[in-house]
Structure 1
Amino acid sequence: MKFIAWFVRRPVATLLLLLSAVLSGLMALPLLPVSDLPDVDLPVISVSASNAGGSPEVMARTVAAPLERHLGNIAGVTQMMSTSTRGETSISLGFELGRNLNGAARDAEAAIRAARRDLPTTPGSDPQYHRANPNATPVLILAVTPGMQSMSRLYELVNTTLRPMLLQVQGVWDVTLMGSSAPAVRVEMNPLLFFKYGMGFENLRAALASANAHTPKGVIDMGDRRYQLAVNDQAEHAAAYRDLVIAYKNGRPIRLRGVATVTDSMQDVNAAAFFDGKPALTLMVRAQPGANLVGIVDAMKARLPQLRTLMPTGADIAVARDGSAVIRSSLHHTLVTLLMIDATHLKAHRTAASVLKKGLFPAISDAQKAV
């Protein structure tokens, strides 16, 4: 009772203490990490690998099986779940509770390196791993509309210019680009013509591989001079592939345009995304564990004017989904509740001060002493 009486008899000091606590909380509020989920370090690691054109059965036999054999030798693995789809394989590793996740990630990386010699050597087949993140849901989705630009060229621009700038924002874990794929030359073969010339698909594969070989050309020594050979033989567009000689029959060259249709396209023609009913590219921003999601969204929106200056004519970038809206609403209600509690405390303090002024507090103390 004497402890409470000290605050009641000193209303000015009590008010100053209360105001200082409120001001300290308001000053610390913007510095607190804000997220919709707690920072939980789950002992789960996901491994993914791709092989373009592989059926689920081929992916399970040639990609998933070698990875499972090596990943299963990691100490502390309690659960392993593998899923193989068309061209994709995903393996989820669950570890026993208390297992250091950084150590488990190093073991997973070592197992992947050991499994590479048993995996296909086709492009895109190198496995990748990442730790489970409870904040894997995108906190912000940006939509880039192409305007008059082709989707493949826009993808290349966004992937090489805009995406690195977004990854530089503090607290960003990953920025996933969806809705299109990188530019590529697509070759559609005519099997009847291959049969007519007595050729196999291996002739075409070898010819395309030689046209994309990045190998040193050598040097020429002439007396005291040495000349480095540099040949511009890297084909990048469909026009450069159409005249490619893939075989010789009866002393006559057979060119690619005679047995196949060659067009400028993209790696995955089935990738698509839409914004307001129009084709678009989507940038899905994911935050690091424990990061301030509201601060990340504010920093991203502040960079939008700068990003628009890098876009080609007619293209635009806009916010398709803001995942911080729910967090902001929760923070607002929390702040209102805290202010209401503070107001209630101030009202109770005024009531106690009025009681003290009327002389009722000493009477209550005397009554307690008499009892």
Structure 2
Amino acid sequence: MRSFFVTYKNPLTVIIVLIIMGTTSRGSCEISAFMNWDANIDLSQQRIESRIAQIRNSLPPDLQITVEKMNPSILPVIGYTLETNSNSRTPIDMKQIALYTIKPFLSQVQGVAEVRIIGGKQKEYWLTLNPQKMSTLGITPDLLSNALAQTNFIQSNGYLSDYRLLYLTVTDATVHSLEDLQNLIVSNNGKRIVQLKDIAEVKINEGVEYTKINANGRAGLLVAIIKQPNTNLISLSADMNKKVEELKKILPSGVTIKPYYKQADFVHDSVRSVTDSLWIGLVLAIIVAIIFLRSLKASATILI
């Protein structure tokens, strides 16, 4: 992690000092810019985006950059652990359940901005090429790379009109299983069709992950709930509890989801603490009034 200071002047000759800190991890880099307390955050965000746009052409074409203002709403307010007691379910299966069952289901709750999945293993297809077969069939690495790049996509083809009806056509070339990838056509010269399984061995392996999650002594996943900025935390927590109870009914056997962090509990504890303080103060005031006045009737009259 590196940090340094940057100063510049705006058109109003006001010097703004930034503390820039960067953290680099596998496949991503997070850069945090800390402004002065009197700085206009919205204006600073626009200036940063403008500077990034100026150097955009010199950056790699596949690089994605997003600029967001830091606010408490981007931090999780509810956290769940996803666990399984079945040895037949792999980390890949748990990741698939979290991404395609739990995440869409919990996103339906009003006030949820994002459902973030942390941990698990990403499903990957690994190819082991056979150079001898590739040479015999005349398949080059570039030809194979182009064939793989032209698959696993969904593309809209436009509209087709039929009298008073209008149809939207879509090309679905997504890979859903290992068999689909093995049957991928790499070359078709009119004489012979070469499929991927003819020149390579295809396997499903776990992706390399550098974040390991353990829950109750077993490997698990974390489900983090991010709320929208103007959403009431107490209402969101209550609605999420009801939604999780519905979710438990559709989860596969042996898969459980449990809460480990609820920000609403701290709010409830704070309110309860204030209420307890008021009651304690009231009791102490009654006791002091009785001691000094030495009359229960007079003390009750004053307190009423």
Query: What is residue 27 of structure 2 aligned with on the other side?
Result: 87
C-alpha separation in 2, matches of 1:228 and 1:283 = 36
Counterpart check, 1:151 vs 2:77: no
Separation of aligned partners in 1, 2:78 and 2:20: 31
Match of 1:131 in 2: 69
1:345 maps to 2:285:
yes
Match in the other structure for 1:189: 128
For residue 208 of structure 1, what is the aligned residue in structure 2? 148
Q: Do 2:127 and 2:201's aligned partners in 1 also have CA atoms closer than 8 Å?
A: yes
Call closer, same or farther: CA 1:272–1:263 in 2, change over 3 Å: farther
Across the aligned residues of Structure 1 and Structure 2, the Cα RMSD in angstroms comes to: 4.4
Contact 1:245 1:255 in 2 (8 A): yes
Q: Deviations over 1:232-256 (max 9, x none)?
A: 544332212213233579x765432
- TM-score, scaled to structure 2: 0.67
Structure 1 residues 164 and 87, CA gap change in structure 2 (3 angstroms): same
Q: Pick closer, same or farther for the CA change 1:131–1:341 going to 2, 3 Å.
A: same
Residues 237-294 of structure 1, C-alpha deviation per residue, up to 9 Å, x if partnerless? Answer: 2212213233579x76543223433234676666653322334332123456687655
- Specify whether residues 352 and 137 from structure 1 end up closer, same or farther in structure 2 by C-alpha distance, changes over 3 A only: same
Q: Deviation at 1:81?
A: 2.4
Alignment partner of 1:277 out of 205, 217, 220: 217
State the partner residue of 2:257.
317
Give 1:262's aligned amino acid: V
Counterpart amino acid of 1:190? L
User: As a proportion of its length, which structure holds more helix?
Assistant: 1
Pair 1:99-2:30 in alignment = no
Instruction: State the AA in 2 paired with 1:178.
Output: I
Name the stretch that deviates more: 132-141 or 315-324: 132-141
2:73–2:229: 8 Å Cα contact kept in structure 1?
Answer: yes
Tell me, in whole angstroms, the C-alpha distance in 2 between the residues paired with 1:286 and 1:332: 25
Looking at structure 2, the residues matched to 108 and 232 of structure 1 have their Cα atoms a distance apart, in angstroms, of 39
CA contact (8 A) 1:237 1:264 kept: no
Q: Secondary structure at the match of 1:319?
A: strand
Tell me what 1:237 maps to: 177
> How far off its partner does 1:195 sit?
7.9
Quick check: which has more Rg, 1 or 2? 1
Conserved? CA contact 2:182–2:197, under 8 Å:
yes
1:164 shift after superposition: 0.8
Q: Which amino acid aligns with 2:67?
A: Y
| Distance apart, 1:87 and its partner CA | 1.0
Deviation at 1:320, TM superposition (A): 2.8
Instruction: State the Cα distance separating 1:337 from its structure 2 match.
Output: 2.6
**Aligned AA for 2:81?**
A
Structure 1: state its 5+ residue gaps: 1-70, 359-371
Give the Å deviation of 1:104. Answer: 3.1
Q: Is the 8 A contact 2:160 2:168 kept in 1?
A: yes
1:163 aligned onto 2:72:
no
Tell me the distance in 2 between the aligned counterparts of 1:248 and 1:264: 26
- Aligned residue pairs total 276
**Is the contact made by 2:119 and 2:213 (CA closer than 8 Å) also made in structure 1?**
yes
Q: Which runs of 5+ in 2 are unaligned?
A: 1-5, 11-15, 299-304
1:300 aligns with 240
CA distance in 2, matches of 1:103, 1:91: 18
Change (3 A) 1:335 1:218: closer
Note closer, same or farther for the CA distance 1:113–1:258 as it changes in structure 2 (3 Å cut): farther
Contact 1:179/1:271 (8 A) holds in 2: yes
